[in-house]
Amino acid sequence: MLKICGQCGATLSRYNTGSYCFPCQEKRIAEKISDRPYYDLDEMQYILGLDHPESVKRLGRKGMIPGKIPVIKEHRYFKDAVDEWIHSGGKANQWNQPLESSFVISIRDTGGTVLEDATRDTETRKVGKLVAFTLGNSSENVMIVEKICLEVQRCQPYDYAPGIGVRLYPFRYEVELCPQPGEYVVTEERFKYGRYDADDFDVVCMSPHGVEYAMRLNVYWSDLVTKKAFASHSDTFRICFGKPGGRRLPLAVYE
């Protein structure tokens, strides 16, 4: 039985794991879905024309989609690997990951409110915001992390009232932000990551009231053997510090 493309009706090649022919998949990757270096589950489902995200996971587990990032729980695929695979009509399914893209930063959660002392009034108590992330080495090499920084890319006034706090101090990593762009050091401790190692981090950020930040994580690391140094960046995310007495957030919006 010959499978045909769900988009244009062309006969699918035997290399094809999706429901669309490779030319139709090429049109989808040409849309420049995002600026990130990987495709997530929804994007892979869209490119391959599959009905269900579980189908992508199944193909990924069988190793039929090249470039799966091994160290984090989310299903992600290196864009370079997937693009090369589709351009080659499914033949290029072995991919050698370039070293510079093998350090993975995955933001797990941002913006949760952390209170120093929930019993004090909102004007005087210290309020922190949580940035939770995972760092991982998706290569066979040993990597040394030299420094982890938060980079404030933009900031602007934030007029809404603070949200409700959930967790308490202390956290191992704390960063005091001020409302201006720049890099803030989270830690200069060195960490060693062997093959496929990953670690979870929780950082709490403090700031004056009433500021919204757009920021990202920068991780500086080197390869143990070659001593080559690299910098990896997370996606940009937003953190808001409410203003006591500020406007109430509309119901449809959350921090």
Report the alpha-carbon distance of residue 109 to residue 217 in Å, rounded.
13
Torsion of CA 73, 78, 82, 83, to 10 degrees: 150
- Closer CB to Zn ion, 5 or 239, in the complex: 5
Q: Which of residues 22-51 bind Zn ion (CB under 5 A)?
A: 24
Q: Quick one: how far is CA 97 from the chain centroid?
A: 18
Least separation in angstroms between CB 157 and Zn ion: 50
| 186 contacts Zn ion (rule: CB under 5 A) | no
| 8 contacts Zn ion (rule: CB under 5 A) | yes
Burial of 6 per CB tally in 10 Å (0-12, 13-18, 19+): middle
Contacts of 35 (CB under 8 A, 6+ apart): none
Least separation in angstroms between CB 88 and Zn ion: 16
- Closer CB to Zn ion, 55 or 187, in the complex: 55
Q: Which of residues 143-162 bind Zn ion (CB under 5 A)?
A: none
Tokens describing residue 43: 């994007």
Of residues 12, 19, 21, 207, which one binds Zn ion by CB under 5 A?
21
79, 46 contact by CB (below 8 A): no
Among the listed ranges 19-27, 74-82, 106-114, 130-138, the one in contact with Zn ion (CB under 5 A) is: 19-27
DSSP state of 4: B
Least separation in angstroms between CB 21 and Zn ion: 3
Least separation in angstroms between CB 23 and Zn ion: 6
Of residues 5, 114, 148, 186, which one binds Zn ion by CB under 5 A?
5
In what helix (H) or strand (E) does residue 29 lie, and over which residues does it extend? Answer: helix 22-29
Least separation in angstroms between CB 181 and Zn ion: 46
Q: Which residues bind Zn ion (CB under 5 A)?
A: 5, 7-8, 10, 21, 24
